[in-house]
Amino acid sequence: MTLVEELQEQGITLEAVGDRLKFRGPAHLLTPALRQRLATHKVEVLAHLRRQQPAGTLEERARYARSEGELDTIVMEIQAHFAQGQLTQVEAECLAQIVVDTARQLGRGLVNIPAAAFLEAI
């Protein structure tokens, strides 16, 4: 059983947000010992979580994202692809606009996602 599965049994979910882990669950369960385990196994936990992410194009994932964390990850991927020359400026702008639209549909606007800054930067 993986650490992620162990935590799920306790009612804790983890989400990969870029290179960070986002913890969801009762705060009292996030003990110093658990923090240490997560820090020790962070690379493996992130890899496990990323393998569980739905496949699909960036556009599909941006349109059907269900959480702010998913949008954060998608924006970082758009930025990386753009920086590596795998997306043109027009493609990156279109994808970023889809992220903005999805964020609005989720009722989150652009408060906690880097899409607004990304749109200004390209």
CATH of domain 3-52: 1.10.10
What length does the chain have?
Answer: 122
Q: What are φ and ψ of residue 51, in 5° steps?
A: -65, -25
Looking at residue 114, its pLDDT comes to 53
Per-residue model confidence as pLDDT tens digits over 48-74: 887 776 666 888 888 888 888 888 889
CA distance 15 to 106: 17
Question: How does DSSP classify residue 54?
Answer: P
| Residue among 21, 69, 24 at smallest CA distance from 45 | 21
Q: In the chain, what percentage of residues exceed pLDDT 90?
A: 12
Q: What is the mean pLDDT of residues 90-113?
A: 78
Distance, in Å, from the CA atom of 79 to the CA atom of 122, rounded to the nearest integer, reads: 9
pLDDT at 111 over 50: no
For the chain, the domains span 3-52, 58-121
Q: Give the pLDDT band (50/70/90) at residue 108.
A: low
